[in-house]
Amino acid sequence: MYELHQVTESCYYIQSPVKIGLVKFDCNDVCLIDSGNDKETGRKVRQILEANGWRLRAIYNTHSNADHIGGNKYLQTQTGCDIFAPGIERDFTVHPVLEPSFLYGGFPPQSLRHKFLMAQESEADELTPEAMPENLTILPLPGHFFDMVGYRSADGAVYLADCLSSQETLEKYQITFVYDVEQYLKTLEMVKTLDAKVFIPAHAAATEDIAPLAQLNIDKAHEIAETILRLCATPTMFESILQQLFLTLGLPMTIEQYVLVGSTVRSYLAWLNDSGCAEYFFEKAQMLWRAK
């Protein structure tokens, strides 16, 4: 864990629970792509930087999930580096209580206000093309979260953030977090067409060919949608859909899984409704869903 892997002349990643990208500008200056899940990860990253004589100029966040920005505060305090985050992700980065609040749908209980879902606050500027170094460009990857992006280096490395999951993760958890299902699927179709020397997903192995894994994620999303539609064969409340999905997939219920999977199921229902496959109606002060 926390090994440094070089993938092109200027690009690296640090193996941690979330892969952290590292791109060299010149002999001494580098930037990070994300910062890991907490202060301890930030400390490990700083040790790697110091061991190589590198100066951290900036952190470019892909999105604002706590496991991607958890090291921001520590590294910014220690190095004075700039931090850039895209669109709405910047607001969540500066005000991290927004993540558990969004997932819970109200003020989150203490059991959700922890480092897994709520990073420490860090100062961040909005990501713009002008903020990018010459050898790095922004790659929009909407779907998993609000304004998530990846990054492409001039020498052929593509950092893909959380736009897809590993086969092992899909087999273990079945359903992965998605905010906008339509955009998620469009992003995966786009990723299948990309050409690069190496692809670095945050939660899967680096690879020279990303298309098979992208297709696996697409197939799993459609499988989850079909499962939800089957559960809506007769009018059903959301809580019952969620319960039956957990039981069908054999998932353990915790408050973290409740909000993460629950938010994702709501996103699937919205997509199925918008695409004409499911509808909702109200009866006896209950919101019910049914397949069409």
Tens digit of pLDDT for each residue in 25-76?
Answer: 988 999 999 999 999 999 999 999 999 999 999 999 999 999 999 999 999 9
Contacts of 102 (CB under 8 A, 6+ apart): 92, 263
The verdict on residue 167 lying in a domain is no
Last residue of some domain: 162, 189, 214?
162
The verdict on residue 220 lying in a domain is no
Which residue, chain included where needed, has tokens 């500008």? 25
Give yes or no: residues 144 and 242 share one domain.
no
The verdict on residue 223 lying in a domain is no
Instruction: Render pLDDT for 217-270 as a digit per residue (tens, 0 to 9).
Output: 999 999 999 999 999 999 999 999 999 999 999 999 999 999 999 999 999 999
63 in Cβ contact with 90 (< 8 Å)? no
The verdict on residue 113 lying in a domain is yes
56/46 Cα distance (integer angstroms)? 9
The verdict on residue 242 lying in a domain is yes
Q: Model's pTM, two decimal places?
A: 0.97
Give yes or no: residues 250 and 112 share one domain.
no
- Determine the structural domain holding residue 151 and report its residue range: 4-162
End-to-end CA distance of the chain: give it in Å, rounded: 48
Half-sphere exposure of residue 131: CA atoms within 13 angstroms, side-chain side? 18
Closest listed residue to residue 33, CA positions, set 155, 132, 170: 132
The verdict on residue 210 lying in a domain is no
